[in-house]
Amino acid sequence: MKLNLKIWRQKNRDSKGKIATYTVKNISKDSSFLEMLDILNNDLLEKGEEPVAFDHDCREGICGMCSLYINGKAHGPDSRVTTCQLHMRKFNDGETIYIEPWRAKALPIIKDLVVDRTAFDRIQQAGGYISVNTSGNTQDANLTPIPKNDADKSFDAATCIGCAACVATCKNSSAMLFVSAKVSQYAMLPQGRVEAKERVINMVKQMDKEGFGNCSNTGACEIECPKGISLENIAKLNREYLSATLSTK
């Protein structure tokens, strides 16, 4: 395949970016989208030009590092697929592909296609964990019976990989789907109930502090989420938040 690439290039956080045009040739339709970018970067290096910076790590759809707005869609044209799991067979020979970074005030561009997602780390640090005694007396998790429905819903919420496609897709740049997944995964388990009130209050407080927008229930986040995180989690987050704020007054 031969492809025309229109890629966002930006030197650093403070500089002005612009779209640059490249052509890549001899791309196998079986290669992944990131492998296609690797080939472009090899070509650029051979010509003595600066390679395109983009985020990636596992390339298996589990770490949440890859991002990219591809032809106007977060993680590209496939549904329930991360950029690293997207393959070139989804594109046509001769096609022009637009590749841009996530765009949101709370996720500033660091370089080219790489954005600063540490806001998500700070939200997690505000409460996305459970405190357990690890001094050798830790109880085996399987000793706590949990209804299957709750365990399943908790597991579904826990599949959020923190990629931030939900923020990039949302017209308000809201992080509610991400935060709701992190709150819900614990809220449905007895182990998570112990710190549930502090967790939801602190995580929402940090989310607001980071400058993410409000949720207006358009549902774009759910459609573009590569892990199919359900909007039901946002309803759960709102219930948890209301109940926590009322009971702490």
Instruction: Enumerate binding residues for ligand SF4 (CB under 6 A).
Output: 160-166, 177-178, 181, 225-227, 229
* Rounded Cα gap, residues 52 and 174, in angstroms: 28
182, interface contact from ligand SF4, ligand FES, none, CB < 5-8 Å by kind: none
101 makes contact with ligand FES (CB under 6 A): no
Least distance CB 22 / ligand SF4 (angstroms) = 28
Partnered with residue 24 across adjacent β-strands are 3
Written as one string, the DSSP assignment of 125-192 is: HTT-S-----SS-PPPGGGS---HHHHHHHHHHHT-----HHHHHSTT-B-HHHHHHHHHHHHTSHHH
Cβ closest to ligand SF4, residue 38 vs residue 116: 116
- Interface residue with ligand FES among 65, 70, 177, 189 (CB under 6 A) is 65
61 makes contact with ligand FES (CB under 6 A): yes
Long-range contacts of 186-193 (CB under 8 A, 24+ apart): 186/128, 186/130, 186/154, 187/236, 187/240, 188/150, 188/151, 188/153, 188/154, 188/157, 189/146, 189/150, 189/151, 189/154, 190/144, 190/146, 191/130, 191/132, 191/141, 191/144, 192/130
Least distance CB 215 / ligand SF4 (angstroms) = 12
53 makes contact with ligand FES (CB under 6 A): no
Least distance CB 60 / ligand SF4 (angstroms) = 14
Cβ closest to ligand FES, residue 61 vs residue 127: 61
173, interface contact from ligand SF4, ligand FES, none, CB < 5-8 Å by kind: none
What is the contact mask toward ligand FES in residues 154 to 173, using x (rule: CB under 6 A)? -------x------------
Cβ closest to ligand FES, residue 165 vs residue 204: 165
* Rounded Cα gap, residues 134 and 15, in angstroms: 47
For residue 5, give the DSSP letter. E
203, interface contact from ligand FES, ligand SF4, none, CB < 5-8 Å by kind: none
* Rounded Cα gap, residues 93 and 136, in angstroms: 59
Question: What SS3 class is residue 122?
Answer: helix
181, interface contact from ligand SF4, ligand FES, none, CB < 5-8 Å by kind: ligand SF4
- Interface residue with ligand FES among 53, 62, 146, 223 (CB under 6 A) is 62
- Interface residue with ligand FES among 10, 32, 36, 64 (CB under 6 A) is 64
* Rounded Cα gap, residues 34 and 187, in angstroms: 36
Chain contacts with ligand FES (rule: CB under 6 A)? 56-59, 61-66, 82, 84, 161
